Chains A and B, each alone.
Chain A
Amino acid sequence: MINRKQELPLKDDSSSLFLQVMITIAVFLFAVTLAGVLSINSMLLNWNQSILGSLTVQIMPVNSIDKDKAREETLEHQNKAVRFLESRPEIEKAVPLKDEQLEKLIRPWLGDGTNIGDLPVPRLIDVKVKKGENINFAELAEKLANASPQASLDNHKLWLNKLIRFADGLKMLAMSILLLVVTIASGAIFYSTQTSLGLHKYIIEILHMMGAKDTYVAQQYAKRTAYLGLTSGAAGLALAVPAIFAISRLAEQIEGGIISEATLSWGSWVLILSLPLFSSLIATVTAYYTVKRTLEKMM
């Protein structure tokens, strides 16, 4: 049977390979950057929630030559603080960190095998605020000090604020990279489509003489670029996914729980995995309108 051949041999265009490489790189960059933006976002969300929803109370260790006594007194202060906190209506729960947890926290600085009992380390109480409660930080801090003089309140706000501003800046930067990648990619599609139109001027003129409208030509270009956008987009994504995993593995190895909160949600993954569809859509629309606009200048 006779197979219908495309009138415009766009497959053999020299610009075809260029476009494939271009779109692959663009989608790769886009996916990795987008993953960055999304995880910064989830990190910011987590941080904001932790500012709103949690406090840390620090119990300064009592100084004494008798280590056991000092420890006991410190724990006594801790219990007082816990009781006070639990009596407050806006607080959901107050959980003192256990020795192992404290050890884990200081291990990066003091190494393995430290015995928490031997050291004058502050004890920490992890406090969860009830959802939707607006606490008066200053008042709570004062009353806490009254209940237990060794206790002080920290709402993470100060140092987190700096981090949040830094993360916000990073996010803006990443967003402008996203915009730039899209601009450059569609610019490349625009120019290579124009070049291709010039290359196939002879064929296009004949198609016009046979009564083809501009849309007929534009559709052939749109089909071709849709295919290129999809396949090259998939290739770019295939390169990006391992890269994203590698980066997040590196981030997980940073202790302290700041960056490990930067996990990608299912929704984020769906967005990232659908990038080839978007690249195909953008490529198609760009090519279509480039053809329409360029042909309008021919007779």
Chain B
Amino acid sequence: MHKKHLIKEKKYFIKYYICYKLKVLNRKGVFILLNKDSSIPAIIEMQNVGIRYGQGPEILSDIKLSLKKGSFHFLTGKSGAGKTSLLSMMYLAQKPSRGIVNVFGKNVNFTNRDSLSLLRRKIGVVFQDFRLLDHLSAFDNVALPLRVCGMDEREVRKRVKELLQWVELDRHMLDTPATLSGGEKQRIAIARAVINRPELLLADEPTGNVDNDIAPKLMKLFVELNKLGTTVVIATHSEKLINDFNYPRLHLQNRGLRIFYPNDVSGLGGNI
């Protein structure tokens, strides 16, 4: 009887030891979060983040957020709710007025300029206002992210041509943005954002100006990238887009952030 108890004890110990080794338990034997996400690193983390412009009021307050690697989120909220502001912290154009922002595990407040540049190379951004360089051709605009990190020019040409063909803009390769339509500019902006196969893709209204038949194609591009491991955040007003894809949505309202998972629209109240 006594012996049997000992064997049971021993089995329990081995189990405990393996768990400890696998880092499921900590030293004191307390279970570390056993949620299935815990092994996946967060690409972006925000804690108590507030942002304000100059001396104005806070546009966003106490934002808490953790975006796991490989996730796909929509970002919604009324015009002026702060979508662009939130994204700009993610693409490192802005530091938070308060709180902590970690991008790729690095606290942006304690990261030097050159390291920030290296982080930005892993991020593709589609700006709401495109921000194309007007004196450069479509080709040179798309080539920009590759050239700034010193890629071989032959490789640059190959990749850019390929992508421009894919977004159906190879005819306009040598045209400058000023001579292109809004939708064409947007596709160039998207091509520039994805040319470097970013680990994080942030798109601000990427399908606002394109036809209904090219919008799904661009969305398909984002989905494909996501399948290959890219973390994606897309700010949008388009209810149709959100409903067509079953992705969680970050919703900005009253300076705060709430996360809604597909089929859970309680509390949204049509405030998109």
User: Which residues of A does B touch, CB under 8 Å?
Assistant: 2, 4-5, 7, 9, 202-203, 205-214, 216, 295-296, 299
Q: A206-B131, A209-B91, A214-B113 are in contact. Are A7 and B136 (CB under 8 A)?
A: yes
Q: Is the CB of A209 within 8 A of B120?
A: yes
Q: Nearest chain A CB to B179's CB is how many angstroms away?
A: 16
Q: Is the CB of B117 within 8 A of A2?
A: no
Residues on B with beta carbons closer than 8 Å to the beta carbon of A296: 113
Residues on B with beta carbons closer than 8 Å to the beta carbon of A210: 120-121, 144-145, 148, 192
Q: Is the CB of B113 within 8 A of A203?
A: no
Determine which of A2, A205, A209, A213 lies in contact with B113 in the assembled complex, contact meaning CB atoms within 8 Å: A213
Residues on B with beta carbons closer than 8 Å to the beta carbon of A5: 135-137, 140
Q: Nearest chain B CB to A100's CB is how many angstroms away?
A: 75
* 22 pairs of residues in contact across A and B, judged by CB atoms under 8 Å: A5-B136, A5-B140, A7-B133, A7-B144, A9-B135, A203-B133, A205-B93, A206-B133, A207-B144, A209-B125, A210-B121, A210-B148, A210-B192, A211-B117, A211-B148, A211-B149, A212-B117, A212-B148, A213-B114, A213-B148, A214-B113, A214-B114
Q: Of A7, A214, A296, which is in contact with the most chain B CB atoms at under 10 Å from its CB? A: A7
Interface string of B138-151 (1 = CB under 8 A from A): 01100011011100
Residues on B with beta carbons closer than 8 Å to the beta carbon of A203: 133
Q: Nearest chain A CB to B130's CB is how many angstroms away?
A: 10
Q: How far, in angstroms, from A119 to B196 measured CA to CA in the complex? A: 97
Residues on A with beta carbons closer than 8 Å to the beta carbon of B145: 210-211
Residues on A with beta carbons closer than 8 Å to the beta carbon of B224: none
Q: How far, in angstroms, from A255 to B10 measured CA to CA in the complex? A: 115
Knowing that A2-B174, A205-B93 are A-B contacts, what are 10 other residue pairs whose CB atoms are under 8 Å apart, sorted by A's residue number?
Answer: A5-B137, A5-B140, A7-B133, A7-B136, A210-B145, A210-B148, A211-B121, A214-B114, A214-B117, A299-B94
Q: How far, in angstroms, from A213 to B137 measured CA to CA in the complex? A: 22
Which residue of chain B has the shortest Cβ distance to A211 in the bound complex? B121
Q: Is the CB of A208 within 8 A of B117?
A: yes
Which residue of chain B has the shortest Cβ distance to A202 in the bound complex? B131
Q: Nearest chain A CB to B132's CB is how many angstroms away?
A: 8
| B106 part of interface (Cβ distance < 8 Å) | no
| B95 part of interface (Cβ distance < 8 Å) | yes
Residues on B with beta carbons closer than 8 Å to the beta carbon of A7: 133, 136, 140, 144, 147
Residues on B with beta carbons closer than 8 Å to the beta carbon of A216: 148
Residues on B with beta carbons closer than 8 Å to the beta carbon of A4: 140, 147, 153
Residues of chain B in range 98-148 having any CB-CB distance to chain A below 8 Å: 113-114, 117-118, 120-121, 123, 125, 131, 133, 135-137, 139-140, 144-145, 147-148
Q: How far, in angstroms, from A213 to B147 measured CA to CA in the complex? A: 12
Q: Nearest chain B CB to A295's CB is how many angstroms away?
A: 8
Q: Nearest chain A CB to B42's CB is how many angstroms away?
A: 21
Q: Nearest chain B CB to A36's CB is how many angstroms away?
A: 45
Residues on A with beta carbons closer than 8 Å to the beta carbon of B120: 208-211
| B227 part of interface (Cβ distance < 8 Å) | no
Q: Is the CB of B118 within 8 A of A211?
A: yes
Q: How far, in angstroms, from A202 to B130 measured CA to CA in the complex? A: 12
Q: How far, in angstroms, from A98 to B139 measured CA to CA in the complex? A: 84
Residues on A with beta carbons closer than 8 Å to the beta carbon of B78: none
Residues on B with beta carbons closer than 8 Å to the beta carbon of A214: 113-114, 117
Q: Is the CB of B133 within 8 A of A2?
A: no
CB-CB nearest 3 A-B residue pairs? A211-B121, A212-B148, A211-B120
Q: How far, in angstroms, from A212 to B117 measured CA to CA in the complex? A: 6
Residues on B with beta carbons closer than 8 Å to the beta carbon of A299: 93-95
Determine which of B93, B118, B136, B140 lies in contact with A209 in the assembled complex, contact meaning CB atoms within 8 Å: B93
Q: How far, in angstroms, from A248 to B85 measured CA to CA in the complex? A: 68
Q: How far, in angstroms, from A35 to B131 measured CA to CA in the complex? A: 52
Residues on B with beta carbons closer than 8 Å to the beta carbon of A208: 117, 120
Q: Nearest chain B CB to A215's CB is how many angstroms away?
A: 8
Q: How far, in angstroms, from A208 to B137 measured CA to CA in the complex? A: 19
Q: How far, in angstroms, from A209 to B118 measured CA to CA in the complex? A: 10
Which residue of chain A has the shortest Cβ distance to B139 in the bound complex? A2
| B21 part of interface (Cβ distance < 8 Å) | no
Q: Nearest chain B CB to A132's CB is how many angstroms away?
A: 61
Residues on B with beta carbons closer than 8 Å to the beta carbon of A207: 144, 148
Residues on B with beta carbons closer than 8 Å to the beta carbon of A211: 117-118, 120-121, 123, 145, 148-149, 196
Residues on A with beta carbons closer than 8 Å to the beta carbon of B95: 299
Q: Nearest chain B CB to A222's CB is how many angstroms away?
A: 16
